[in-house]
Chain A
């Protein structure tokens, strides 16, 4: 009961199991690639540099690793300036 009330007031609906799953998803994707947070930062900077050379970037670009089962992908989301 106390835990239930705590949950309502903390505003955190994710269970410890959900936390474990999302943390594992991230850490396993990085482990399998042999990559680190530093590598992701470098990738992001260099990709943006190339894109920015040709088009105007608008807003908050995102570069991240996503994975499903054995497969991993680089998810690059770069908003480009419209008119």
Chain B
């Protein structure tokens, strides 16, 4: 943790609704950035319902947690778990037997200020809901990523969260559309990315297709970005690259098989 020039960015990943893929997004985007050589720390603020350690496959290496750091039982350095698969990826675990109101927004701000000089990116995995846990999670953040699914209840919750972020004077709010099924959109059975952008009125930073590989990688405790071939892996890596300032086109997801293309070719040449 030496050759750092600028203070790190604090990015909160939030959604309102649970189960839309916040933790998966944090784990994969952070891993992708770490793979690109950035110094990254992920903070699990879902106190009482922690998941990030499990998704990253670091559950057996946890010794201390964030509440113990805040209460002065240990130092931040002692609590940070290093991910050995990446040069510079660290996790600050949540406490499982404590509550969201055992920490305050001011304490989160102080903690992040301590981490800023040593990292390029500080990701905060926000709990679902709009209560204390949400207020803690957004307190220190410079920018927000809102994760949603193309589904009415997730979009409604995302809209509420965006409203709350805007009242908290966030100016940099980006949208990740997760679990998109392009074939359903084409049939008119699912909301499209454009539909979501029209409703939510914020800028897009990523489109992640529904991918069975996510469950497989979660079961293994390996971020999907380690597997270059999956579409979701590419989508998450692209989010990481966009965050670091690159301009990258969005995937088209036209996953037509060879046979389908051949058949179409035959029909159109009649």
Contacts and interface: CB of A to CB of B under 8 A. Distances in A.
Say whether A and B bind each other: yes
B192 A69 contact: no
B190 interface: yes
A6 interface: no
Contact of B195 (A21, A31, A69): A21
Contacts of B191: 17, 20-21, 24
A81 interface: no
A15 B156 contact: no
Interface in A8-67: 15-18, 20-21, 23-25, 27-28, 31-32
Would you call the interface of chain B mostly helix, strand, loop, or mixed? helix
Contacts of A16: 188-190
Interface residues of B, number: 18
Contact of B156 (A17, A27, A70): A27
A15 B188 contact: yes
Interface of B: 151-152, 155-156, 159-160, 163, 185, 187-192, 195, 198-199, 201
A31 B152 contact: no
Interface residues of A, number: 15
B189 A24 contact: no
Contacts of B160: 31
Nearest to B197: A69
Contact of A28 (B151, B185, B189, B199): B199
A17 B159 contact: no
Q: Which of A15, A23, A24, A25 has the most CB of B within 10 A?
A: A24
Given A24-B156, A31-B160, A17 B199 contact: no
